[in-house]
Amino acid sequence: MKMGQIPACGDIYLRVCLQHRRFIGQTRVAVSLLFLSSEYLTHLHLKCRMEPFKVRILGCGSALPTLQHFPSSQVVELREKLFMIDCGEGTQIQLRRLRIHFSKIIAVFISHLHGDHCFGLPGMLSTFGMTGRTAPLHIYAPAAFGPLLCQTLEFFCQGLGFEVVFHAVDTTRNKIVYEDRSLTVETIPLQHRIECCGYLFREKPTLPHIRRDMIDFYHIPISQINNIKAGADWITPDGNVVPNERLTTPAAPPRSYAYCSDTRYIKSLYKLVKGVDTLYHESTYTSEDAKRARLYWHSTSRQAAQVARDAAVGKLLLGHYSARYGNEEKLLEEAREIFPNTYLSQEGKIFDISAAR
Protein backbone atom coordinates (compact mmCIF):
# COMPACT_ATOMS: atom_id res chain seq x y z
CA MET A 1 0.00 0.00 0.00
CA LYS A 2 1.37 3.40 -0.95
CA MET A 3 1.62 6.31 1.42
CA GLY A 4 -1.52 8.47 1.26
CA GLN A 5 -3.59 5.84 -0.48
CA ILE A 6 -7.04 5.42 1.10
CA PRO A 7 -7.86 1.74 1.28
CA ALA A 8 -11.29 0.11 1.01
CA CYS A 9 -12.40 0.55 4.57
CA GLY A 10 -12.65 4.30 4.21
CA ASP A 11 -13.95 5.77 7.42
CA ILE A 12 -11.80 4.00 9.97
CA TYR A 13 -8.67 4.46 7.90
CA LEU A 14 -9.52 8.10 7.63
CA ARG A 15 -9.78 8.20 11.38
CA VAL A 16 -6.36 6.61 11.61
CA CYS A 17 -5.11 9.20 9.15
CA LEU A 18 -6.60 11.98 11.22
CA GLN A 19 -4.60 10.87 14.22
CA HIS A 20 -1.42 11.04 12.21
CA ARG A 21 -2.02 14.17 10.26
CA ARG A 22 0.39 17.03 10.20
CA PHE A 23 -0.92 20.36 9.03
CA ILE A 24 1.36 22.37 6.82
CA GLY A 25 -0.58 25.51 5.97
CA GLN A 26 -3.63 24.22 4.18
CA THR A 27 -1.91 21.00 3.15
CA ARG A 28 -2.65 17.87 5.14
CA VAL A 29 -0.17 15.05 4.94
CA ALA A 30 -1.14 11.58 6.11
CA VAL A 31 1.76 9.66 7.62
CA SER A 32 2.41 6.49 9.55
CA LEU A 33 -0.06 4.20 7.81
CA LEU A 34 2.87 2.15 6.59
CA PHE A 35 3.72 1.23 10.16
CA LEU A 36 0.39 -0.45 10.89
CA SER A 37 0.53 -4.23 10.76
CA SER A 38 -1.81 -6.08 8.45
CA GLU A 39 -3.42 -7.84 11.47
CA TYR A 40 -4.20 -4.48 12.99
CA LEU A 41 -5.66 -3.23 9.75
CA THR A 42 -7.84 -6.35 9.53
CA HIS A 43 -8.99 -5.74 13.09
CA LEU A 44 -9.85 -2.14 12.25
CA HIS A 45 -11.57 -3.30 9.11
CA LEU A 46 -13.80 -5.72 11.05
CA LYS A 47 -14.55 -3.18 13.73
CA CYS A 48 -15.53 -0.44 11.33
CA ARG A 49 -17.88 -2.76 9.44
CA MET A 50 -19.53 -3.99 12.61
CA GLU A 51 -23.00 -2.54 13.06
CA PRO A 52 -24.02 -1.50 16.57
CA PHE A 53 -25.75 -4.29 18.46
CA LYS A 54 -26.65 -3.17 21.94
CA VAL A 55 -29.20 -3.39 24.69
CA ARG A 56 -30.50 -0.44 26.73
CA ILE A 57 -31.94 -1.07 30.14
CA LEU A 58 -35.19 0.81 30.73
CA GLY A 59 -36.18 -1.05 33.88
CA CYS A 60 -34.69 -3.86 35.95
CA GLY A 61 -36.76 -4.00 39.13
CA SER A 62 -39.32 -6.67 40.00
CA ALA A 63 -43.03 -6.52 40.84
CA LEU A 64 -43.09 -4.24 43.88
CA PRO A 65 -42.45 -0.57 43.10
CA THR A 66 -39.30 1.03 44.51
CA LEU A 67 -37.67 4.43 44.16
CA GLN A 68 -34.54 2.83 42.66
CA HIS A 69 -35.95 0.88 39.76
CA PHE A 70 -38.57 0.72 37.05
CA PRO A 71 -40.08 -2.70 36.28
CA SER A 72 -38.71 -4.84 33.44
CA SER A 73 -38.13 -3.37 30.02
CA GLN A 74 -35.23 -3.29 27.59
CA VAL A 75 -34.61 -2.10 24.06
CA VAL A 76 -32.36 -4.10 21.73
CA GLU A 77 -30.83 -2.22 18.81
CA LEU A 78 -29.37 -3.78 15.70
CA ARG A 79 -28.78 -1.91 12.42
CA GLU A 80 -30.96 1.01 13.52
CA LYS A 81 -33.90 -1.26 14.22
CA LEU A 82 -35.25 -1.24 17.76
CA PHE A 83 -36.94 -4.18 19.50
CA MET A 84 -38.50 -3.83 22.93
CA ILE A 85 -38.48 -6.72 25.39
CA ASP A 86 -41.11 -6.51 28.12
CA CYS A 87 -42.92 -3.30 28.87
CA GLY A 88 -43.42 -2.66 32.57
CA GLU A 89 -45.15 0.42 33.97
CA GLY A 90 -43.29 3.64 33.23
CA THR A 91 -41.61 2.33 30.09
CA GLN A 92 -42.73 5.30 28.00
CA ILE A 93 -41.21 7.70 30.54
CA GLN A 94 -37.95 5.77 30.26
CA LEU A 95 -38.11 5.96 26.46
CA ARG A 96 -38.35 9.74 26.77
CA ARG A 97 -35.60 9.94 29.35
CA LEU A 98 -33.23 7.85 27.24
CA ARG A 99 -34.17 9.74 24.07
CA ILE A 100 -35.29 6.63 22.23
CA HIS A 101 -37.47 7.45 19.23
CA PHE A 102 -40.92 5.92 19.62
CA SER A 103 -41.24 5.43 15.90
CA LYS A 104 -38.10 3.29 15.61
CA ILE A 105 -39.52 0.48 17.74
CA ILE A 106 -40.80 -2.11 15.32
CA ALA A 107 -41.76 -4.92 17.69
CA VAL A 108 -42.41 -5.65 21.37
CA PHE A 109 -41.66 -9.07 22.86
CA ILE A 110 -43.55 -9.83 26.09
CA SER A 111 -42.15 -12.68 28.19
CA HIS A 112 -45.23 -13.33 30.35
CA LEU A 113 -48.37 -11.74 31.66
CA HIS A 114 -47.30 -10.60 35.09
CA GLY A 115 -47.97 -6.88 35.40
CA ASP A 116 -44.35 -5.88 35.95
CA HIS A 117 -43.68 -7.07 32.38
CA CYS A 118 -46.68 -5.70 30.48
CA PHE A 119 -48.59 -2.98 32.37
CA GLY A 120 -46.74 -0.33 30.38
CA LEU A 121 -48.08 -1.49 27.03
CA PRO A 122 -51.59 0.11 26.97
CA GLY A 123 -50.17 3.54 27.83
CA MET A 124 -47.39 3.20 25.31
CA LEU A 125 -49.76 2.17 22.49
CA SER A 126 -52.00 5.12 23.27
CA THR A 127 -49.03 7.50 23.26
CA PHE A 128 -47.74 6.10 19.96
CA GLY A 129 -51.16 6.96 18.54
CA MET A 130 -51.02 10.52 19.89
CA THR A 131 -47.56 11.09 18.44
CA GLY A 132 -48.76 10.21 14.94
CA ARG A 133 -47.22 6.82 14.40
CA THR A 134 -48.22 5.20 11.12
CA ALA A 135 -45.90 2.16 10.92
CA PRO A 136 -47.34 -1.14 12.16
CA LEU A 137 -46.25 -2.35 15.59
CA HIS A 138 -45.79 -6.09 16.08
CA ILE A 139 -46.47 -7.56 19.50
CA TYR A 140 -45.23 -11.04 20.44
CA ALA A 141 -46.70 -12.49 23.63
CA PRO A 142 -48.31 -15.61 25.09
CA ALA A 143 -51.64 -16.39 23.37
CA ALA A 144 -53.71 -15.35 26.40
CA PHE A 145 -52.69 -11.75 25.76
CA GLY A 146 -54.54 -11.62 22.42
CA PRO A 147 -58.12 -10.99 23.70
CA LEU A 148 -56.84 -8.59 26.36
CA LEU A 149 -54.98 -6.58 23.74
CA CYS A 150 -58.10 -6.43 21.55
CA GLN A 151 -60.17 -5.06 24.44
CA THR A 152 -57.49 -2.54 25.33
CA LEU A 153 -57.32 -1.28 21.76
CA GLU A 154 -61.10 -1.07 21.45
CA PHE A 155 -61.55 0.70 24.76
CA PHE A 156 -58.56 3.06 24.96
CA CYS A 157 -57.19 3.35 21.45
CA GLN A 158 -60.09 4.12 19.12
CA GLY A 159 -58.91 5.61 15.84
CA LEU A 160 -55.31 4.55 16.28
CA GLY A 161 -53.39 5.65 13.19
CA PHE A 162 -51.28 2.50 12.97
CA GLU A 163 -51.83 -1.22 12.87
CA VAL A 164 -51.10 -3.40 15.89
CA VAL A 165 -50.22 -6.92 14.76
CA PHE A 166 -50.44 -9.57 17.43
CA HIS A 167 -48.34 -12.75 17.26
CA ALA A 168 -49.14 -15.47 19.79
CA VAL A 169 -45.99 -17.28 20.90
CA ASP A 170 -45.80 -20.80 22.22
CA THR A 171 -43.79 -20.41 25.43
CA THR A 172 -43.20 -24.16 25.70
CA ARG A 173 -41.09 -24.44 22.56
CA ASN A 174 -37.74 -23.15 21.37
CA LYS A 175 -38.76 -21.68 18.02
CA ILE A 176 -37.93 -18.77 15.72
CA VAL A 177 -40.81 -16.28 15.96
CA TYR A 178 -39.31 -13.33 14.09
CA GLU A 179 -36.90 -13.10 11.16
CA ASP A 180 -35.64 -10.35 8.89
CA ARG A 181 -32.55 -9.80 6.76
CA SER A 182 -30.25 -9.23 9.69
CA LEU A 183 -31.49 -11.30 12.60
CA THR A 184 -33.76 -13.96 14.04
CA VAL A 185 -35.55 -13.98 17.40
CA GLU A 186 -36.36 -17.30 19.01
CA THR A 187 -38.30 -18.20 22.14
CA ILE A 188 -36.61 -19.75 25.17
CA PRO A 189 -39.04 -21.81 27.29
CA LEU A 190 -38.76 -20.84 30.98
CA GLN A 191 -40.36 -22.10 34.18
CA HIS A 192 -42.35 -19.56 36.16
CA ARG A 193 -45.67 -19.48 38.02
CA ILE A 194 -47.45 -18.83 34.73
CA GLU A 195 -46.41 -19.56 31.13
CA CYS A 196 -43.28 -17.61 30.34
CA CYS A 197 -40.48 -17.50 27.78
CA GLY A 198 -37.29 -15.62 27.12
CA TYR A 199 -36.11 -14.35 23.74
CA LEU A 200 -32.86 -14.98 21.92
CA PHE A 201 -31.69 -12.43 19.35
CA ARG A 202 -29.25 -13.89 16.84
CA GLU A 203 -27.54 -11.80 14.21
CA LYS A 204 -27.33 -13.53 10.83
CA PRO A 205 -23.86 -14.24 9.41
CA THR A 206 -22.70 -11.63 6.95
CA LEU A 207 -20.58 -12.02 3.80
CA PRO A 208 -16.84 -11.41 3.91
CA HIS A 209 -15.52 -7.96 3.09
CA ILE A 210 -13.88 -7.15 -0.21
CA ARG A 211 -10.27 -5.96 -0.12
CA ARG A 212 -10.40 -2.93 -2.33
CA ASP A 213 -6.61 -2.79 -2.69
CA MET A 214 -6.56 -6.34 -4.07
CA ILE A 215 -9.50 -5.67 -6.41
CA ASP A 216 -7.61 -2.66 -7.78
CA PHE A 217 -4.34 -4.56 -7.96
CA TYR A 218 -5.80 -7.40 -10.05
CA HIS A 219 -8.09 -5.05 -12.05
CA ILE A 220 -11.12 -7.16 -11.15
CA PRO A 221 -14.31 -5.78 -12.76
CA ILE A 222 -17.17 -4.63 -10.52
CA SER A 223 -19.43 -7.26 -12.10
CA GLN A 224 -17.38 -9.95 -10.29
CA ILE A 225 -17.57 -8.44 -6.79
CA ASN A 226 -20.68 -10.37 -5.72
CA ASN A 227 -19.14 -13.67 -6.88
CA ILE A 228 -16.01 -12.94 -4.89
CA LYS A 229 -18.06 -12.02 -1.82
CA ALA A 230 -19.81 -15.35 -2.24
CA GLY A 231 -16.44 -17.16 -2.13
CA ALA A 232 -15.20 -17.36 -5.74
CA ASP A 233 -11.48 -17.21 -6.59
CA TRP A 234 -10.23 -14.90 -9.34
CA ILE A 235 -8.52 -16.18 -12.47
CA THR A 236 -6.22 -13.66 -14.05
CA PRO A 237 -6.14 -13.25 -17.89
CA ASP A 238 -2.91 -15.32 -17.96
CA GLY A 239 -4.61 -18.19 -16.06
CA ASN A 240 -3.25 -17.70 -12.51
CA VAL A 241 -5.69 -18.44 -9.69
CA VAL A 242 -5.90 -15.82 -6.95
CA PRO A 243 -7.45 -17.55 -3.91
CA ASN A 244 -10.50 -15.92 -2.37
CA GLU A 245 -8.73 -15.41 0.96
CA ARG A 246 -6.39 -12.91 -0.69
CA LEU A 247 -9.30 -10.89 -2.02
CA THR A 248 -11.44 -10.72 1.11
CA THR A 249 -11.25 -10.29 4.86
CA PRO A 250 -13.54 -12.42 7.00
CA ALA A 251 -16.82 -10.97 8.25
CA ALA A 252 -17.14 -10.43 11.97
CA PRO A 253 -18.70 -13.47 13.69
CA PRO A 254 -22.46 -13.08 14.24
CA ARG A 255 -23.45 -11.86 17.70
CA SER A 256 -26.25 -12.99 19.98
CA TYR A 257 -28.19 -11.80 23.01
CA ALA A 258 -30.40 -13.95 25.23
CA TYR A 259 -33.00 -12.48 27.57
CA CYS A 260 -34.14 -14.90 30.25
CA SER A 261 -37.03 -13.34 32.07
CA ASP A 262 -38.69 -14.59 35.25
CA THR A 263 -37.78 -18.22 35.84
CA ARG A 264 -36.71 -20.61 38.47
CA TYR A 265 -33.28 -22.15 37.97
CA ILE A 266 -33.33 -24.59 35.06
CA LYS A 267 -30.30 -26.86 35.01
CA SER A 268 -30.61 -27.57 31.28
CA LEU A 269 -31.21 -23.96 30.22
CA TYR A 270 -27.54 -23.56 29.30
CA LYS A 271 -28.10 -25.73 26.23
CA LEU A 272 -30.42 -23.16 24.65
CA VAL A 273 -28.17 -20.18 25.33
CA LYS A 274 -24.84 -21.92 24.68
CA GLY A 275 -22.10 -19.49 23.67
CA VAL A 276 -24.23 -16.35 23.36
CA ASP A 277 -22.24 -13.14 23.60
CA THR A 278 -24.44 -11.63 26.30
CA LEU A 279 -26.94 -13.31 28.59
CA TYR A 280 -29.48 -11.47 30.72
CA HIS A 281 -30.81 -13.77 33.41
CA GLU A 282 -33.19 -12.73 36.15
CA SER A 283 -31.61 -12.72 39.59
CA THR A 284 -34.32 -11.67 41.98
CA TYR A 285 -32.69 -12.94 45.18
CA THR A 286 -29.40 -13.51 46.99
CA SER A 287 -28.47 -17.05 48.07
CA GLU A 288 -29.73 -16.25 51.58
CA ASP A 289 -33.22 -16.06 50.10
CA ALA A 290 -32.89 -19.20 47.96
CA LYS A 291 -35.98 -20.71 49.60
CA ARG A 292 -38.01 -17.66 48.67
CA ALA A 293 -36.68 -17.94 45.10
CA ARG A 294 -37.90 -21.54 44.90
CA LEU A 295 -41.27 -20.62 46.40
CA TYR A 296 -41.96 -17.82 43.91
CA TRP A 297 -40.35 -19.50 40.88
CA HIS A 298 -37.49 -17.06 40.65
CA SER A 299 -33.68 -17.38 40.62
CA THR A 300 -30.80 -16.26 42.80
CA SER A 301 -27.87 -14.43 41.23
CA ARG A 302 -25.72 -17.52 41.89
CA GLN A 303 -28.10 -19.61 39.84
CA ALA A 304 -28.01 -17.04 37.04
CA ALA A 305 -24.21 -17.29 37.15
CA GLN A 306 -24.36 -21.08 36.99
CA VAL A 307 -26.35 -20.86 33.76
CA ALA A 308 -23.84 -18.33 32.36
CA ARG A 309 -20.89 -20.54 33.33
CA ASP A 310 -22.42 -23.75 31.98
CA ALA A 311 -23.38 -22.02 28.72
CA ALA A 312 -19.91 -20.41 28.41
CA VAL A 313 -21.47 -17.07 27.49
CA GLY A 314 -19.43 -13.91 26.97
CA LYS A 315 -20.95 -11.89 29.76
CA LEU A 316 -23.86 -11.98 32.16
CA LEU A 317 -26.27 -9.19 33.05
CA LEU A 318 -28.26 -9.45 36.26
CA GLY A 319 -31.69 -7.90 36.78
CA HIS A 320 -35.25 -8.16 38.15
CA TYR A 321 -34.03 -7.25 41.62
CA SER A 322 -36.26 -7.84 44.61
CA ALA A 323 -37.49 -4.70 46.35
CA ARG A 324 -36.17 -6.11 49.65
CA TYR A 325 -32.55 -5.10 48.94
CA GLY A 326 -31.25 -1.56 49.36
CA ASN A 327 -28.64 -2.17 46.67
CA GLU A 328 -27.51 -5.03 44.48
CA GLU A 329 -23.86 -5.40 45.50
CA LYS A 330 -24.42 -8.73 47.24
CA LEU A 331 -26.19 -10.10 44.17
CA LEU A 332 -23.23 -9.07 42.03
CA GLU A 333 -20.64 -10.38 44.45
CA GLU A 334 -22.29 -13.80 44.68
CA ALA A 335 -22.66 -14.11 40.92
CA ARG A 336 -19.04 -13.10 40.27
CA GLU A 337 -17.79 -15.88 42.53
CA ILE A 338 -19.15 -18.29 39.92
CA PHE A 339 -19.02 -16.22 36.73
CA PRO A 340 -16.61 -13.24 36.98
CA ASN A 341 -17.75 -11.40 33.85
CA THR A 342 -21.06 -10.38 35.42
CA TYR A 343 -22.60 -6.90 35.47
CA LEU A 344 -25.59 -5.27 37.11
CA SER A 345 -28.34 -3.94 34.87
CA GLN A 346 -29.24 -0.39 35.83
CA GLU A 347 -31.76 1.99 34.29
CA GLY A 348 -30.12 3.98 31.50
CA LYS A 349 -27.16 1.63 31.06
CA ILE A 350 -26.27 0.52 27.57
CA PHE A 351 -24.47 -2.77 27.06
CA ASP A 352 -22.66 -3.62 23.85
CA ILE A 353 -23.65 -7.19 23.02
CA SER A 354 -20.22 -7.98 21.63
CA ALA A 355 -18.10 -6.23 24.26
CA ALA A 356 -14.93 -8.00 25.38
CA ARG A 357 -15.43 -11.29 27.13
Applying CB under 5 A, which residues contact Zn ion?
A: 114, 116, 262
Number of C-beta neighbours around residue 263 at 10 A: 27
In angstroms, give the least distance from the CB of 301 to Zn ion.
15
User: Judged by CB, which is closer to Zn ion: 112, or 315?
Assistant: 112
In angstroms, give the least distance from the CB of 318 to Zn ion.
14
In angstroms, give the least distance from the CB of 194 to Zn ion.
7
Q: Are 98 and 66 in contact (CB under 8 A)?
A: no
Q: Are strands 209-210 and 248-249 parallel, antiparallel or unpaired?
A: antiparallel
What gap in Å lies between CA 80 and CA 94, rounded to an integer? 19
φ and ψ of 17, to 5 deg: -60, -45
Nearest to 285, CA basis, from 315, 336, 259, 319: 319
What gap in Å lies between CA 208 and CA 248, rounded to an integer? 6
Q: Residue 329 to residues 282, 301, 344, 350: CA-CA distances in angstroms?
A: 15, 11, 9, 19
φ and ψ of 267, to 5 deg: -60, -35
116 classed as catalytic: yes
User: Judged by CB, which is closer to Zn ion: 256, or 322?
Assistant: 322
Tell me which DSSP letter residue 223 carries.
Answer: G
User: Judged by CB, which is closer to Zn ion: 94, or 354?
Assistant: 94
Characterize 284-315 residue by residue with b for buried, 16 or more Cβ atoms within 10 angstroms of its Cβ, and e for exposed: bbbeebbeebeebbbbbbbbbbbbbbbbebbb
| Residue at 134: amino acid letter | T
In angstroms, give the least distance from the CB of 202 to Zn ion.
24
In angstroms, give the least distance from the CB of 342 to Zn ion.
20
User: Judged by CB, which is closer to Zn ion: 41, or 258?
Assistant: 258
User: Judged by CB, which is closer to Zn ion: 234, or 259?
Assistant: 259
Per the residue annotation, which of 11, 86, 116, 180 is the catalytic one? 116
Show which residues are catalytic. Answer: 116
